[in-house]
Chains A and B, each alone.
Chain A
């Protein structure tokens, strides 16, 4: 579907006409990211991050395929093949650093993308499916990144694999056999390494598939925008091409500058030194932490230090860690506010900026810190707020809050007036 004023694809060249009659791929592209896709004119830079995320996915796939050309998934040699790649393969050092830092960049971009959604209510009707698919992508990314981190078979790889599969061991009754099944053994070894490699190669392509669905679902209602007011007329939109192609284009430049600065000058800043030590199943590193992008969830896992009634602390931690992401699936139904954008929600805005953001910051920080006080207590407070935010604050706030008046339309919010407004009934919150 699209807006009635969307431009129609008109093949100019006879070959394109021929193509359009047989496989209308150019038409699909035109209607998705070309002149045929009308987009709200008032998007701010937070809307660039979806495009950047797609770019990161391509970057990971390309550099990953290169790494796979030089890698061998065998515990005897895995570590050495990665070193060999860095030392002897032409540009191997660059490929490796690009892939490792690319994973970090991908998560930076995705976190901004997700928090854009939280603030601007992008998960609300009619875009629930876009949101749900997004959460699925995030889960797949976490699985992919986790398995990728195991491949170089350093100390953190090994102990990460052991600890994360250990989480499944917390599940009552089936836990232990499940863990053994996941690893194909009692501890991470060749069987685990090989299946992780196989899946690490596969999942990114599954992600590509889900990304296509995510964008498809988005193109049904079209993009939302910072006001949260739906598009009403042609003057509210501009065609994706050239407007947003140009905007995304220069944003890619900024992203590339930041990324290359990390890649060429601080390539190990986000990595952990212990992963330059080959895996040693007999000795756990003193301070084991996952990659930084898992820290908030790792902090939640470690925040549960006491058994809760009959539920062991270990199980509570695992439940909460998965729950912390699964709760996002329910967000469209937890938040009943008729207003989408946080900009027009005085109360929600306060909880977002003074509750959720600081809680996330604390969880990020504590997840990377040793399991000592005060970090455990801090993460307990932050995790408490995290769950309260989604499960208690959002439902209540959305029921009692009185939103600020909304602009009649995107055009009005941009230009201060909208011809169409004069003909239409007065704005009300429910129209949004």
Chain B
């Protein structure tokens, strides 16, 4: 009887020792995995200020925010009307132009220039680039077309182009982020 207890106690210690080694192994893996995520300098809240005074209606520019392009577009009244004409409930990612712009500044469409399919930069912001079937942006990678509110209308992308956090610091300067 005492013998059996001894055996059980010994097994217990061996199992405990092996488990402790396992815990140590997991403890080592945690920092090894975590070191690959974005470092403090990358995460440090960064913001971009853009001067929009020279963007004429119908024009757009590309700026950089967090190492990715942002499109700033000055919509023409016609483009605004086009966007508002669409039946929102028919959209893949239903949103109105109003929801995607700031009050009183509906002509300023500010979105990330990153296709929501697999991340290419859609055409349409640069001079002379095709704007696609719906007059907004066209992603040449796999053929996603966005309309004048940068909403997805056709092609594989699941969502509208993302609207980053931004604010007008003056009438001619926007601060993104």
Q: Assuming A249-B17, A249-B21, is B39 touching A66 (CB within 8 A)?
A: no
Does B7 sit at the interface, judged by CB under 8 A?
no
* Per-position 1/0 for B10-22, Cβ under 8 A of A: 0000000100010
Task: Please tell me if the beta carbons of B40 and A87 are within 8 angstroms of each other in the complex.
Answer: yes
Complex alpha-carbon distance, A87 and B39, angstroms: 9
Q: Which of B18-68 contact A (CB under 8 A)?
A: 21, 24, 31-32, 34-37, 39-42
Task: Please tell me if the beta carbons of A69 and B35 are within 8 angstroms of each other in the complex.
Answer: yes
Does A270 sit at the interface, judged by CB under 8 A?
no
Closest to B20 in A: A253
Q: Assuming A88-B41, A249-B17, A249-B21, is B31 touching A69 (CB within 8 A)?
A: no
Q: Which residues of B contact A92 (CB under 8 A)?
A: 35, 39
Taking a contact as CB atoms closer than 8 A, the residue among B21, B31, B41 that contacts A91 in the complex is: B31
Closest to A65 in B: B32
Does A392 sit at the interface, judged by CB under 8 A?
no
- The size class of the interface chain B forms with chain A is 10 to 19
**Dominant SS among interface residues on chain A:** helix
Q: Assuming A249-B17, A249-B21, is B41 touching A95 (CB within 8 A)?
A: no
Complex alpha-carbon distance, A84 and B41, angstroms: 8
Complex alpha-carbon distance, A90 and B39, angstroms: 6
Residue with the greatest number of chain A CB neighbours at <10 A, chosen from B21, B35, B36: B35
Task: Please tell me if the beta carbons of A88 and B40 are within 8 angstroms of each other in the complex.
Answer: yes
Give, as a whole number of angstroms, the nearest-CB distance from B19 to chain A: 13
Complex alpha-carbon distance, A94 and B31, angstroms: 9
Q: Which of A266-309 contact B (CB under 8 A)?
A: none
- The size class of the interface chain A forms with chain B is 10 to 19
Closest to B21 in A: A249
Taking a contact as CB atoms closer than 8 A, the residue among A84, A95, A249, A256 that contacts B35 in the complex is: A95
Q: Which residues of A contact B32 (CB under 8 A)?
A: 62, 66
* Per-position 1/0 for A393-406, Cβ under 8 A of B: 00000000000000
Closest to A67 in B: B35
Complex alpha-carbon distance, A94 and B24, angstroms: 16
Q: Assuming A249-B17, A249-B21, is B35 touching A91 (CB within 8 A)?
A: yes
Complex alpha-carbon distance, A95 and B31, angstroms: 9
Give, as a whole number of angstroms, the nearest-CB distance from A412 to chain B: 29
Task: Please tell me if the beta carbons of B34 and A91 are within 8 angstroms of each other in the complex.
Answer: yes
Q: Which residues of A contact B36 (CB under 8 A)?
A: 69
Complex alpha-carbon distance, A89 and B36, angstroms: 8
Q: Which of A81-115 contact B (CB under 8 A)?
A: 84, 87-92, 94-95
Give, as a whole number of angstroms, the nearest-CB distance from B121 to chain A: 26
Closest to B40 in A: A88
Q: Which residues of A contact B42 (CB under 8 A)?
A: 88
Complex alpha-carbon distance, A364 and B18, angstroms: 39
Can you add 10 more A-B contacts, CB < 8 Å, to A90-B37, A90-B40? A66-B35, A69-B35, A70-B35, A84-B41, A89-B35, A90-B31, A90-B39, A92-B39, A94-B31, A95-B31
Task: Give A residues with C-beta under 8 Å from B.
Answer: 62, 66, 69-70, 84, 87-92, 94-95, 249, 256
Shortest beta-carbon contacts, A-B, top 6: A91-B31, A88-B40, A88-B39, A88-B41, A89-B39, A90-B34
